[in-house]
């Protein structure tokens, strides 16, 4: 992901003239989608705010559903996250239909930061009555030192498809290889610590409420 240079003055959300209008459920779903994409890329609010030239407080309000972003703001966020604006809306609507993804055709996002280079392929996401379940395949290309995260809430299942790595979780390092799995609280401090055998591909299932 290309990091753009930051201007002298952060982009002001208050200057946006055409904010999206809609009910709170729509705004909250949009906020959750932006937040989840950021987390999958391993970025903090401050890091994404810098890349997208927004203020951290403004971005925090967007992710909490306190304000509804304008189209201009969404374009900045999409560029910073290396996704299309449409991707923010692709999984918003609730539905009871099945989701079929052809092999290799899932929505992908690439990122680097916090000592890691990775690609996430979203397989499916379900939002229902405030609960969210999503599944994706993470491919770790590089890990230069521990990559820790403890910003998600809910539960997470990791199932290793290919490769071998050391994974840190709450002061314990697990060596995971093909067909090994790890189930954990997503709010714990956890993350890839070292790649032993490339390539590393992990099926991740995350449930939030």
Whether residue 127 is found in the same domain as residue 195: yes
Residue 37: per-residue pLDDT: 87
- Taken as a whole, the chain contains a residue count of 209
Decide: helix, strand or coil at residue 39: helix
Same domain, residue pair 62 and 141: no
**pLDDT over 50 at 3, yes or no:** no
What is the spatial distance between Cα 191 and Cα 149, in angstroms, rounded to a whole number? 6
Per residue in 59-87, pLDDT (tens digit) is 999 988 888 888 889 889 988 988 877 77
Instruction: Give the list of residues 6+ apart from residue 15 with CB closer than 8 angstroms, or none.
Output: none
Q: Is 130 contained in some domain?
A: yes
Q: What is the pTM of this model?
A: 0.56
Q: Into how many domains does the chain fold? A: 2
Query: What is the C-alpha R_g of the chain?
Result: 17
pLDDT of residue 90: 61
**In the predicted model, what is the mean pLDDT of residues 135-164?**
79
The CATH number covering residue 175 comes to 2.60.120.10
Which segments within 44-171 are labelled E, that is strand?
107-113, 116-128, 131-143, 155-169
**Among 33, 58, 88, residue at a domain's last position:** 88
Q: Could you tell me if 67 and 160 lie in one domain?
A: no
Query: Would you state the pLDDT for residue 112?
Result: 52
């Amino acid at each position: 992901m290309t990091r753009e240079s930051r201007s002298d003055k952060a982009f002001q959300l208050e200057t946006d003239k055409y904010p999206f209008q809609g009910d709170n459920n729509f705004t909250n779903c949009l906020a959750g989608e932006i937040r989840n994409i950021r987390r999958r890329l391993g970025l903090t609010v401050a890091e994404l705010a810098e890349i997208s030239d927004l203020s951290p407080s403004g971005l925090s309000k967007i992710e909490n559903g306190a304000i509804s972003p304008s189209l201009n703001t969404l374009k900045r966020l999409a560029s910073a996250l290396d996704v299309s604006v449409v991707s923010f809306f692709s999984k918003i609507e609730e539905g009871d239909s099945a989701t079929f993804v052809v092999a290799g055709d899932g929505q992908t996002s690439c990122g680097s930061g916090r000592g890691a280079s990775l690609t996430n392929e979203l397989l499916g996401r379900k939002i229902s009555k405030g609960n969210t379940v999503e599944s994706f395949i993470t491919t770790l290309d590089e890990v230069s030192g521990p990559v820790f995260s403890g910003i998600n809430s809910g539960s997470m299942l990791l199932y290793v498809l290919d490769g071998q790595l050391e994974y840190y979780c709450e002061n314990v390092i697990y060596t995971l290889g093909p067909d090994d799995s790890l189930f954990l609280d997503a709010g714990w401090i956890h993350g890839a610590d070292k790649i032993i055998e490339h390539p590393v591909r992990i099926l991740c299932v995350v449930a939030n409420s």
